[in-house]
Structure 1
Amino acid sequence: MTGNPRTGRPYRRLVAVQRALGYPCWLCGHDIDPTLPPTHRDSFTLDHLVPLSRGGSLLDPANARSAHRRCNSARGNRLVTAQARASRRW
């Protein structure tokens, strides 16, 4: 495989599907504003339940989670065993 797999069509499609679900951040439980620019600290990012550096699948929807950019960055590649704050949205 050549190039960055995160810029390919399958990955972009997974990001679009996850964003369209409108789920809150799985780490902090707060809503994610879809109108924020991608570089904003509270913007949407696709996080992986099992980090890619620990063998998680890049394109598996079961491994994909919605997160704020700041929450995703703060988590790094650590495994999270419990959600920090539960969301009231089911």
Structure 2
Amino acid sequence: MAGNPRNGRPYRRLVAHVKALGMPCARCGGYINPDLDPRSGWSFTLDHIVPLSRGGSLLDPANARSMHRRCNSARGNRTGTTAPQRTSRKW
């Protein structure tokens, strides 16, 4: 397959479908404003429940959910949705 599959019509269709559902962020539960600039940390991104790097399907709707860009970046390729435990800097 030539090119990046994330630029293909099936992927764009999946992103549009999940975005149109208007679901809150799967990580923090906050509202995702669909009109924000895509570069904003609070904008919509498609998150894969099972990360692609761990064998998750790119185009499976059951593997896709809404997430803020910053929440998705913070999650990385971990499989959980909760924020990692933070420790105090005063130890």
Alignment match, 1:6: 6
After superposition, the C-alpha distances for 1:45-80 in whole angstroms (9 at most, x for unaligned) are 000000000000000000001000000000000111
Residues 1-90 of structure 1: matches in 2 within 5 Å? 1-80=1-80, 83-84=81-82
| TM-score calculated relative to the size of structure 2 | 0.88
Note the residue ranges of structure 1 that are not aligned, 5 or more in a row.
Answer: 86-90
Determine helix, strand or coil for the equivalent of 1:79: coil
Larger radius of gyration: 2
Give the structure, 1 or 2, with the largest relative contact order (CA under 8 Å, sep 6 or more).
1
Note the residue ranges of structure 2 that are not aligned, 5 or more in a row.
Answer: 84-91
**Cα distance in structure 2, aligned partners of 1:24 and 1:68:** 9
Q: Report the AA paired with residue 71 of structure 1.
A: C
- After the TM superposition, which parts of structure 1 deviate over 3 Å for at least 4 consecutive aligned residues? none
Aligned-pair identity (%): 71
**Cα distance in structure 1, aligned partners of 2:67 and 2:26:** 6
**Cα distance in structure 1, aligned partners of 2:51 and 2:20:** 22
**Cα distance in structure 2, aligned partners of 1:28 and 1:47:** 13
**Cα distance in structure 1, aligned partners of 2:30 and 2:58:** 24
- Length, aligned pairs only: 83
After superposition, the C-alpha distances for 1:20-59 in whole angstroms (9 at most, x for unaligned) are 0000000000010011010000000000000000000000
The alignment's C-alpha RMSD in Å is 1.2
Shift, 1:84, TM fit = 3.5
